[in-house]
Structure 1
Amino acid sequence: MTPLASARLHAFAYLSDVLSPVWDLPAFDGKILKIDGGPHYPDLQEELDHLVVLGLVEVSNLEYVGRGENGARLEGQYALNFASSFLAPLLAGLGAGKEDEAIDADDRRVHNFMVELAGALATLPNDEIDIAASVDVTYRSVNSLNNIVDFAEWAEDTWQANPSWQASERFEAFLPDDAELSPGEKLYLYATYLGRVANAA
Protein backbone atom coordinates (compact mmCIF):
# COMPACT_ATOMS: atom_id res chain seq x y z
CA MET A 1 0.00 0.00 0.00
CA THR A 2 3.02 2.35 -0.06
CA PRO A 3 3.98 4.87 -1.16
CA LEU A 4 0.72 6.12 0.26
CA ALA A 5 -1.24 8.97 -1.31
CA SER A 6 -2.27 11.75 1.08
CA ALA A 7 -5.98 11.04 0.69
CA ARG A 8 -5.48 7.35 1.37
CA LEU A 9 -3.35 8.08 4.43
CA HIS A 10 -6.05 10.32 5.90
CA ALA A 11 -8.72 7.74 5.02
CA PHE A 12 -6.67 5.10 6.84
CA ALA A 13 -6.38 7.41 9.87
CA TYR A 14 -10.16 7.88 9.88
CA LEU A 15 -10.90 4.16 9.58
CA SER A 16 -8.41 3.39 12.36
CA ASP A 17 -10.26 5.87 14.59
CA VAL A 18 -13.78 4.69 13.81
CA LEU A 19 -12.84 0.99 14.06
CA SER A 20 -10.59 1.30 17.14
CA PRO A 21 -13.34 0.00 19.50
CA VAL A 22 -13.19 -3.36 17.67
CA TRP A 23 -9.68 -3.67 19.14
CA ASP A 24 -10.83 -2.20 22.47
CA LEU A 25 -8.79 0.96 21.86
CA PRO A 26 -9.87 4.59 22.20
CA ALA A 27 -10.11 6.73 19.08
CA PHE A 28 -7.24 9.17 18.66
CA ASP A 29 -9.75 11.71 17.34
CA GLY A 30 -13.44 10.94 17.81
CA LYS A 31 -14.75 13.39 15.24
CA ILE A 32 -14.08 14.42 11.65
CA LEU A 33 -15.28 17.23 9.42
CA LYS A 34 -17.08 15.76 6.41
CA ILE A 35 -15.70 17.51 3.29
CA ASP A 36 -15.29 16.90 -0.44
CA GLY A 37 -12.55 14.39 -1.13
CA GLY A 38 -12.98 12.33 2.02
CA PRO A 39 -11.54 12.60 5.53
CA HIS A 40 -8.69 15.03 6.23
CA TYR A 41 -6.88 15.71 9.51
CA PRO A 42 -4.95 19.02 9.45
CA ASP A 43 -2.99 18.09 12.60
CA LEU A 44 -1.97 14.74 11.13
CA GLN A 45 -0.85 16.45 7.93
CA GLU A 46 1.25 18.93 9.91
CA GLU A 47 2.94 16.10 11.84
CA LEU A 48 3.55 14.24 8.60
CA ASP A 49 5.18 17.35 7.12
CA HIS A 50 7.45 17.51 10.18
CA LEU A 51 8.50 13.88 9.59
CA VAL A 52 9.37 14.78 6.00
CA VAL A 53 11.56 17.67 7.21
CA LEU A 54 13.25 15.35 9.73
CA GLY A 55 14.04 12.86 6.95
CA LEU A 56 11.95 10.04 8.43
CA VAL A 57 9.36 10.14 5.64
CA GLU A 58 9.88 10.71 1.92
CA VAL A 59 7.37 12.57 -0.23
CA SER A 60 7.02 12.49 -4.02
CA ASN A 61 4.60 13.57 -6.74
CA LEU A 62 3.45 16.73 -4.98
CA GLU A 63 0.48 18.45 -6.61
CA TYR A 64 -2.47 20.69 -5.79
CA VAL A 65 -5.80 18.86 -5.78
CA GLY A 66 -9.15 20.64 -5.82
CA ARG A 67 -11.51 19.95 -2.91
CA GLY A 68 -14.72 21.67 -4.03
CA GLU A 69 -15.88 24.36 -1.63
CA ASN A 70 -12.92 23.58 0.61
CA GLY A 71 -10.44 25.01 -1.91
CA ALA A 72 -7.36 23.06 -2.89
CA ARG A 73 -4.93 20.88 -0.98
CA LEU A 74 -1.29 20.00 -1.53
CA GLU A 75 -1.10 16.22 -1.84
CA GLY A 76 1.67 13.74 -2.50
CA GLN A 77 2.84 10.17 -2.09
CA TYR A 78 4.39 9.29 1.29
CA ALA A 79 6.69 6.47 2.33
CA LEU A 80 8.95 5.75 5.29
CA ASN A 81 12.61 6.56 4.65
CA PHE A 82 14.28 3.30 5.65
CA ALA A 83 17.70 4.83 4.92
CA SER A 84 17.31 7.01 8.02
CA SER A 85 19.29 5.65 10.96
CA PHE A 86 16.68 7.12 13.33
CA LEU A 87 13.72 5.23 11.87
CA ALA A 88 14.28 1.71 13.24
CA PRO A 89 14.71 2.70 16.91
CA LEU A 90 11.81 5.13 16.64
CA LEU A 91 9.48 2.47 15.23
CA ALA A 92 10.65 -0.01 17.87
CA GLY A 93 9.84 2.50 20.61
CA LEU A 94 6.37 2.89 19.12
CA GLY A 95 5.68 -0.83 19.32
CA ALA A 96 6.75 -1.97 15.85
CA GLY A 97 9.74 -3.96 17.16
CA LYS A 98 10.14 -6.51 19.93
CA GLU A 99 7.66 -6.39 22.77
CA ASP A 100 10.20 -5.20 25.36
CA GLU A 101 11.36 -2.31 23.11
CA ALA A 102 8.03 -0.46 23.19
CA ILE A 103 8.06 2.65 25.36
CA ASP A 104 4.43 2.00 26.31
CA ALA A 105 2.93 -1.51 26.33
CA ASP A 106 -0.28 -0.13 24.78
CA ASP A 107 1.73 1.03 21.76
CA ARG A 108 2.30 -2.62 20.86
CA ARG A 109 -1.47 -3.18 20.80
CA VAL A 110 -1.98 -0.07 18.66
CA HIS A 111 0.71 -1.27 16.25
CA ASN A 112 -0.90 -4.72 15.96
CA PHE A 113 -4.27 -3.09 15.28
CA MET A 114 -2.82 -0.83 12.57
CA VAL A 115 -1.06 -3.75 10.88
CA GLU A 116 -4.26 -5.82 10.94
CA LEU A 117 -6.35 -2.94 9.56
CA ALA A 118 -3.79 -2.23 6.83
CA GLY A 119 -3.79 -5.91 5.91
CA ALA A 120 -7.58 -5.96 5.74
CA LEU A 121 -7.72 -2.87 3.51
CA ALA A 122 -4.89 -4.19 1.32
CA THR A 123 -7.19 -7.03 0.22
CA LEU A 124 -9.24 -4.45 -1.72
CA PRO A 125 -8.37 -3.17 -5.20
CA ASN A 126 -6.82 0.32 -5.24
CA ASP A 127 -9.94 2.06 -6.54
CA GLU A 128 -12.00 0.57 -3.69
CA ILE A 129 -9.40 1.50 -1.05
CA ASP A 130 -9.44 5.09 -2.30
CA ILE A 131 -13.14 5.55 -1.52
CA ALA A 132 -13.46 3.11 1.40
CA ALA A 133 -13.61 5.85 4.06
CA SER A 134 -16.17 7.84 2.06
CA VAL A 135 -18.55 4.85 1.95
CA ASP A 136 -17.98 3.94 5.60
CA VAL A 137 -21.26 3.61 7.51
CA THR A 138 -20.42 6.30 10.06
CA TYR A 139 -18.87 8.74 7.59
CA ARG A 140 -21.92 8.74 5.34
CA SER A 141 -24.28 8.91 8.31
CA VAL A 142 -27.23 11.22 7.68
CA ASN A 143 -27.19 12.24 11.36
CA SER A 144 -24.06 14.34 10.93
CA LEU A 145 -24.49 17.83 12.42
CA ASN A 146 -23.03 20.70 10.38
CA ASN A 147 -20.87 18.20 8.47
CA ILE A 148 -19.19 17.02 11.69
CA VAL A 149 -19.15 13.26 12.06
CA ASP A 150 -18.91 12.71 15.81
CA PHE A 151 -18.52 9.08 16.83
CA ALA A 152 -16.58 9.39 20.10
CA GLU A 153 -15.65 12.98 20.95
CA TRP A 154 -18.83 14.51 22.39
CA ALA A 155 -21.22 11.59 21.90
CA GLU A 156 -22.83 10.41 25.13
CA ASP A 157 -23.27 6.88 23.77
CA THR A 158 -20.29 5.97 21.56
CA TRP A 159 -21.89 2.63 20.59
CA GLN A 160 -24.94 4.40 19.15
CA ALA A 161 -22.80 7.12 17.56
CA ASN A 162 -20.56 4.64 15.74
CA PRO A 163 -22.49 2.53 13.19
CA SER A 164 -19.17 1.20 11.82
CA TRP A 165 -18.41 -0.43 15.17
CA GLN A 166 -21.96 -1.79 15.30
CA ALA A 167 -21.65 -3.24 11.79
CA SER A 168 -18.34 -4.93 12.55
CA GLU A 169 -19.83 -6.58 15.64
CA ARG A 170 -22.97 -7.61 13.74
CA PHE A 171 -21.07 -10.18 11.64
CA GLU A 172 -21.10 -12.60 14.59
CA ALA A 173 -24.89 -12.79 14.37
CA PHE A 174 -24.48 -14.84 11.18
CA LEU A 175 -22.27 -17.47 12.88
CA PRO A 176 -23.35 -20.61 14.76
CA ASP A 177 -24.00 -20.01 18.47
CA ASP A 178 -20.72 -21.55 19.58
CA ALA A 179 -18.55 -19.59 17.11
CA GLU A 180 -17.04 -16.14 17.47
CA LEU A 181 -14.85 -13.84 15.43
CA SER A 182 -11.51 -12.42 16.46
CA PRO A 183 -11.06 -8.63 16.25
CA GLY A 184 -8.85 -9.15 13.20
CA GLU A 185 -11.51 -11.22 11.43
CA LYS A 186 -14.06 -8.47 12.09
CA LEU A 187 -11.74 -5.94 10.43
CA TYR A 188 -11.33 -8.15 7.36
CA LEU A 189 -15.07 -8.67 7.07
CA TYR A 190 -15.71 -4.95 7.44
CA ALA A 191 -13.11 -4.21 4.75
CA THR A 192 -14.90 -6.67 2.46
CA TYR A 193 -18.16 -4.85 3.19
CA LEU A 194 -16.55 -1.49 2.33
CA GLY A 195 -15.30 -2.96 -0.94
CA ARG A 196 -18.79 -4.10 -1.90
CA VAL A 197 -20.32 -0.73 -1.08
CA ALA A 198 -17.53 1.03 -2.99
CA ASN A 199 -18.22 -1.22 -5.97
CA ALA A 200 -21.89 -0.34 -5.89
CA ALA A 201 -21.24 3.42 -5.60
Structure 2
Amino acid sequence: MQQIERQLRLIAIFDAAEEVGLYPVDVRTLHTLAYLADALAPVWHLPILDGQVLKRRTYPFFPALQHDLDLLVGLGVVQVDSFAYEEDWEDGWRLSAGYFLNRSFADRIIDEINQHHLAERSHAFVREVVYAASAIGVEGIEQVGIADAAYSNPVVDVGGVVDIDGEQGVNATAKTALRFKALTREQTNLSDAETVHLYVRHLYSRMNVA
Protein backbone atom coordinates (compact mmCIF):
# COMPACT_ATOMS: atom_id res chain seq x y z
CA MET A 1 0.00 0.00 0.00
CA GLN A 2 2.83 2.40 0.83
CA GLN A 3 4.40 1.74 -2.56
CA ILE A 4 1.12 2.63 -4.28
CA GLU A 5 0.94 5.85 -2.23
CA ARG A 6 4.48 6.74 -3.29
CA GLN A 7 3.60 6.10 -6.92
CA LEU A 8 0.50 8.28 -6.64
CA ARG A 9 2.67 11.02 -5.15
CA LEU A 10 5.04 10.73 -8.10
CA ILE A 11 2.12 11.08 -10.50
CA ALA A 12 0.95 14.14 -8.56
CA ILE A 13 4.42 15.71 -8.84
CA PHE A 14 4.57 15.13 -12.60
CA ASP A 15 1.01 16.39 -13.04
CA ALA A 16 1.67 19.66 -11.22
CA ALA A 17 5.14 20.08 -12.75
CA GLU A 18 3.64 19.99 -16.22
CA GLU A 19 1.13 22.67 -15.24
CA VAL A 20 3.87 25.06 -14.09
CA GLY A 21 6.31 24.34 -16.94
CA LEU A 22 8.81 22.14 -15.09
CA TYR A 23 8.68 19.67 -17.93
CA PRO A 24 10.22 17.16 -18.39
CA VAL A 25 11.22 16.66 -14.76
CA ASP A 26 14.91 16.03 -14.06
CA VAL A 27 15.95 13.41 -11.48
CA ARG A 28 17.37 16.01 -9.09
CA THR A 29 14.25 18.12 -9.29
CA LEU A 30 12.00 15.10 -8.83
CA HIS A 31 13.74 13.80 -5.70
CA THR A 32 13.89 17.28 -4.19
CA LEU A 33 10.18 17.89 -4.78
CA ALA A 34 9.41 14.48 -3.26
CA TYR A 35 11.57 15.42 -0.27
CA LEU A 36 9.74 18.71 0.25
CA ALA A 37 6.41 16.90 0.03
CA ASP A 38 7.47 14.47 2.73
CA ALA A 39 9.15 17.02 4.99
CA LEU A 40 6.14 19.38 4.81
CA ALA A 41 3.46 16.68 5.03
CA PRO A 42 2.82 17.35 8.77
CA VAL A 43 1.73 20.88 7.85
CA TRP A 44 -1.27 19.31 6.07
CA HIS A 45 -1.65 16.55 8.66
CA LEU A 46 -0.67 13.94 6.07
CA PRO A 47 1.59 10.92 6.55
CA ILE A 48 5.26 10.99 5.60
CA LEU A 49 5.85 8.30 2.99
CA ASP A 50 9.67 8.19 3.04
CA GLY A 51 10.89 9.08 6.51
CA GLN A 52 14.58 8.54 5.81
CA VAL A 53 16.50 10.08 2.92
CA LEU A 54 20.07 9.59 1.75
CA LYS A 55 21.95 12.86 2.19
CA ARG A 56 23.92 14.01 -0.80
CA ARG A 57 25.85 17.24 -0.84
CA THR A 58 23.19 19.41 -2.44
CA TYR A 59 20.09 17.29 -3.08
CA PRO A 60 18.25 14.35 -1.50
CA PHE A 61 17.93 10.89 -3.02
CA PHE A 62 15.32 8.22 -2.25
CA PRO A 63 16.28 4.73 -3.49
CA ALA A 64 12.71 3.49 -2.96
CA LEU A 65 11.27 6.42 -4.92
CA GLN A 66 13.64 5.75 -7.81
CA HIS A 67 12.53 2.11 -7.80
CA ASP A 68 8.87 3.16 -7.85
CA LEU A 69 9.60 5.57 -10.70
CA ASP A 70 11.23 2.77 -12.69
CA LEU A 71 8.09 0.66 -12.15
CA LEU A 72 5.89 3.49 -13.45
CA VAL A 73 8.11 3.73 -16.52
CA GLY A 74 7.79 -0.01 -17.03
CA LEU A 75 4.00 0.23 -16.74
CA GLY A 76 3.92 3.02 -19.33
CA VAL A 77 2.46 5.61 -16.94
CA VAL A 78 5.67 7.69 -17.04
CA GLN A 79 7.84 8.18 -20.11
CA VAL A 80 11.56 8.97 -20.35
CA ASP A 81 12.60 12.04 -22.33
CA SER A 82 16.34 11.52 -21.97
CA PHE A 83 18.64 9.16 -20.10
CA ALA A 84 22.36 9.21 -19.26
CA TYR A 85 24.86 8.92 -16.43
CA GLU A 86 26.90 11.97 -15.50
CA GLU A 87 29.91 12.37 -13.25
CA ASP A 88 29.24 14.84 -10.46
CA TRP A 89 32.39 16.17 -8.83
CA GLU A 90 30.58 16.35 -5.48
CA ASP A 91 28.51 13.15 -5.46
CA GLY A 92 30.23 10.92 -8.01
CA TRP A 93 28.31 9.28 -10.84
CA ARG A 94 24.61 10.06 -10.93
CA LEU A 95 21.61 9.33 -13.08
CA SER A 96 20.60 12.14 -15.41
CA ALA A 97 17.18 11.70 -16.96
CA GLY A 98 14.04 13.63 -17.79
CA TYR A 99 10.57 12.21 -17.16
CA PHE A 100 7.00 13.13 -18.05
CA LEU A 101 3.54 11.60 -17.75
CA ASN A 102 1.96 9.46 -20.43
CA ARG A 103 -1.39 11.23 -20.29
CA SER A 104 -3.32 8.40 -21.90
CA PHE A 105 -2.72 6.35 -18.75
CA ALA A 106 -2.06 9.00 -16.09
CA ASP A 107 -5.24 11.01 -16.62
CA ARG A 108 -7.38 7.98 -15.87
CA ILE A 109 -5.46 7.43 -12.63
CA ILE A 110 -5.86 11.10 -11.65
CA ASP A 111 -9.59 10.93 -12.38
CA GLU A 112 -9.84 7.99 -9.99
CA ILE A 113 -7.79 9.83 -7.35
CA ASN A 114 -10.30 12.68 -7.45
CA GLN A 115 -13.05 10.26 -6.45
CA HIS A 116 -11.45 9.56 -3.06
CA HIS A 117 -11.19 12.30 -0.45
CA LEU A 118 -7.88 11.39 1.22
CA ALA A 119 -6.14 10.62 -2.07
CA GLU A 120 -7.46 13.85 -3.60
CA ARG A 121 -6.30 15.82 -0.54
CA SER A 122 -2.81 14.34 -0.82
CA HIS A 123 -2.76 15.14 -4.54
CA ALA A 124 -3.79 18.74 -3.81
CA PHE A 125 -1.04 19.06 -1.19
CA VAL A 126 1.66 17.85 -3.58
CA ARG A 127 0.35 20.27 -6.19
CA GLU A 128 0.81 23.18 -3.76
CA VAL A 129 4.36 22.06 -2.96
CA VAL A 130 5.23 21.97 -6.66
CA TYR A 131 3.51 25.31 -7.30
CA ALA A 132 5.46 26.89 -4.44
CA ALA A 133 8.76 25.39 -5.56
CA SER A 134 8.26 26.45 -9.16
CA ALA A 135 8.58 30.07 -8.04
CA ILE A 136 12.30 29.53 -7.32
CA GLY A 137 12.97 27.74 -10.62
CA VAL A 138 14.82 24.50 -11.34
CA GLU A 139 18.17 25.86 -10.13
CA GLY A 140 16.60 26.95 -6.87
CA ILE A 141 14.82 23.63 -6.37
CA GLU A 142 18.06 21.72 -6.85
CA GLN A 143 19.70 23.82 -4.09
CA VAL A 144 16.92 23.30 -1.54
CA GLY A 145 19.12 20.95 0.47
CA ILE A 146 21.53 23.77 1.24
CA ALA A 147 18.84 25.84 2.96
CA ASP A 148 16.20 23.39 4.21
CA ALA A 149 15.95 23.18 8.00
CA ALA A 150 16.02 19.37 8.26
CA TYR A 151 18.27 18.49 5.33
CA SER A 152 20.99 21.03 6.15
CA ASN A 153 21.34 19.70 9.72
CA PRO A 154 25.14 19.77 10.29
CA VAL A 155 24.93 16.76 12.60
CA VAL A 156 24.17 14.53 9.57
CA ASP A 157 27.11 14.34 7.20
CA VAL A 158 26.99 13.68 3.47
CA GLY A 159 26.39 9.97 2.93
CA GLY A 160 24.35 9.74 6.12
CA VAL A 161 20.61 9.44 6.53
CA VAL A 162 18.33 12.41 7.26
CA ASP A 163 15.44 11.25 9.44
CA ILE A 164 12.32 13.35 8.87
CA ASP A 165 9.95 10.92 10.55
CA GLY A 166 11.81 9.92 13.69
CA GLU A 167 10.78 9.59 17.29
CA GLN A 168 11.57 13.19 18.23
CA GLY A 169 8.33 14.71 16.98
CA VAL A 170 7.79 16.97 13.98
CA ASN A 171 10.85 17.34 11.74
CA ALA A 172 12.71 20.65 11.59
CA THR A 173 11.30 21.59 8.18
CA ALA A 174 7.65 21.23 9.17
CA LYS A 175 8.40 22.75 12.57
CA THR A 176 9.82 25.88 10.92
CA ALA A 177 6.82 26.17 8.58
CA LEU A 178 4.39 25.78 11.47
CA ARG A 179 6.37 28.35 13.45
CA PHE A 180 5.81 30.88 10.66
CA LYS A 181 2.10 30.13 10.84
CA ALA A 182 2.07 30.67 14.61
CA LEU A 183 4.04 33.93 14.41
CA THR A 184 1.65 35.46 11.89
CA ARG A 185 -1.53 34.33 13.65
CA GLU A 186 -2.20 37.76 15.16
CA GLN A 187 -2.11 39.43 11.73
CA THR A 188 -3.65 36.68 9.59
CA ASN A 189 -4.67 33.05 9.70
CA LEU A 190 -2.47 31.37 7.11
CA SER A 191 -3.96 28.42 5.27
CA ASP A 192 -1.92 25.24 4.93
CA ALA A 193 -1.21 26.13 1.30
CA GLU A 194 -0.02 29.63 2.25
CA THR A 195 2.21 28.12 4.93
CA VAL A 196 3.89 25.89 2.35
CA HIS A 197 4.46 28.85 0.01
CA LEU A 198 5.84 30.95 2.86
CA TYR A 199 8.32 28.25 3.82
CA VAL A 200 9.58 27.92 0.24
CA ARG A 201 10.05 31.69 0.05
CA HIS A 202 12.04 31.40 3.27
CA LEU A 203 14.28 28.82 1.57
CA TYR A 204 14.82 31.18 -1.34
CA SER A 205 15.88 33.96 1.06
CA ARG A 206 18.35 31.63 2.78
CA MET A 207 19.83 30.58 -0.56
CA ASN A 208 20.41 34.20 -1.52
CA VAL A 209 22.11 34.92 1.79
CA ALA A 210 24.29 31.83 1.38
TM category, shorter:
0.7 to 0.9
1:80 is matched with: 101
Identify which of 129, 140, 162 aligns with 1:149.
162
Query: How many residues matched?
Result: 188
Aligned-partner Cα distance in 1 for 2:192–2:26? 27
Aligned-partner Cα distance in 2 for 1:64–1:167? 36
TM-score by length of 2: 0.81
Helix, strand or coil for the counterpart of 1:19?
Answer: helix
Identify which of 176, 197, 200 aligns with 2:206.
197
Aligned-partner Cα distance in 1 for 2:138–2:60? 17
1:92 and 2:119 equivalent? no
Aligned-partner Cα distance in 2 for 1:193–1:178? 18
Aligned-partner Cα distance in 2 for 1:39–1:197? 18
5 Å-filtered alignment, 1:20-99, equals 20-67=41-88, 71-82=92-103, 84=104, 86-93=105-112, 95=113, 97=114
Give the stretch that moved more between structures: 57-66 or 68-77.
68-77
Structure 1: runs of 5 or more not aligned: none
Contact 2:53 2:162 in 1 (8 A): yes
Relative contact order (C-alpha < 8 Å, sep 6+): which is higher?
A: 2
1:115 is matched with: 127
Q: Which runs of 4+ in 1 moved over 6 A?
A: none
After superposition, the Cα gap between the structure-2 partners of 1:60 and 1:176, relative to the gap in structure 1 and judged at 3 Å, is closer
TM-score by length of 1: 0.84
Larger Rg: 1
1:158 is matched with: 169
Contact 1:128 1:199 in 2 (8 A): no
Give the stretch that moved more between structures: 6-15 or 139-148.
139-148
The amino acid that maps onto 2:151 is Y
Helix, strand or coil for the counterpart of 1:158?
Answer: coil
Q: Give the Å deviation of 1:46.
A: 1.6
> Identity across aligned pairs (percent)?
33
Q: CA RMSD in A?
A: 2.0
Helix, strand or coil for the counterpart of 1:77?
Answer: strand
Q: Give the Å deviation of 1:62.
A: 1.4
Deviations 1:106-162 (A, max 9, x none): 11111010011111111113321221234211001123377211121xx22222xx1
Contact 2:82 2:99 in 1 (8 A): no
Contact 1:5 1:78 in 2 (8 A): yes
Structure 2: runs of 5 or more not aligned: 1-21
